[in-house]
Amino acid sequence: MRPPLVREIKASSALGKSGMKELDYAFNPYSGCLHSCDYCYAMDFTKTGVDIPWGEYVYVRTNIVELLRRDAVSKRKGIVGVSTITDPYQAVEGKYRITRESIPILCSNGFHVSIQTKSPLILRDLDILTRYRRNLDAGFSIATPYADRAIQMERRAPSPRARIKALERLSSEGIKTWIFLGPIFPGFNDTDGEFSEIAEIALSTGSRIIYDSYNHFRGSDTALKKNGHVPYLFSREQYAEAERKLLMICNRKGVRCNSEAEDWLVERSSMNRPLF
Ligand code: SF4
Query: Given this model, what pLDDT does residue 276 score?
Result: 23
Cα(8) to ligand 1 centroid in Å equals 19
118 lines ligand 1 (CB under 6 A): yes
CATH for 21: 3.20.20.70
Mutate to test the pocket of ligand 1, among 86, 90, 116, 159 (most ligand atoms within 8 A of CB): 86
64 lines ligand 1 (CB under 6 A): no
20 vs 240, higher pLDDT: 240
Q: In this structure, how many other beta carbons lie within 10 angstroms of the beta carbon of residue 230?
A: 10
38 lines ligand 1 (CB under 6 A): no
For 32-43, how does the pLDDT look when each residue is reduced to its tens digit (9 = 90+)?
A: 999 999 999 898
E strand residue ranges, the chain: 5-9, 16-17, 25-26, 30-31, 57-61, 79-82, 112-117, 136-141, 176-184, 208-213, 257-258
Number of structural domains the chain divides into = 1
pTM: 0.93
Q: Is the pLDDT of residue 62 over 60?
A: yes
33 lines ligand 1 (CB under 6 A): yes
Query: Given this model, what pLDDT does residue 166 score?
Result: 98
Is the Cβ–Cβ distance between 75 and 21 less than 8 Å? Answer: no
Cis geometry, peptide bond prior to residue 114 (ω within 30 degrees of 0):
no
Query: Given this model, what pLDDT does residue 273 score?
Result: 38
CA distance 27 to 140: 17
Is the Cβ–Cβ distance between 5 and 33 less than 8 Å? Answer: no
> Ligand 1 atom closest to Cα of 116?
2
For 149-199, how does the pLDDT look when each residue is reduced to its tens digit (9 = 90+)?
A: 999 999 999 999 999 999 999 999 999 999 999 999 998 999 999 999 999
In this prediction, what percent of the chain has a pLDDT beyond 90?
A: 75
Domain that holds residue 61: 5-275
Region 235-259 average pLDDT = 94
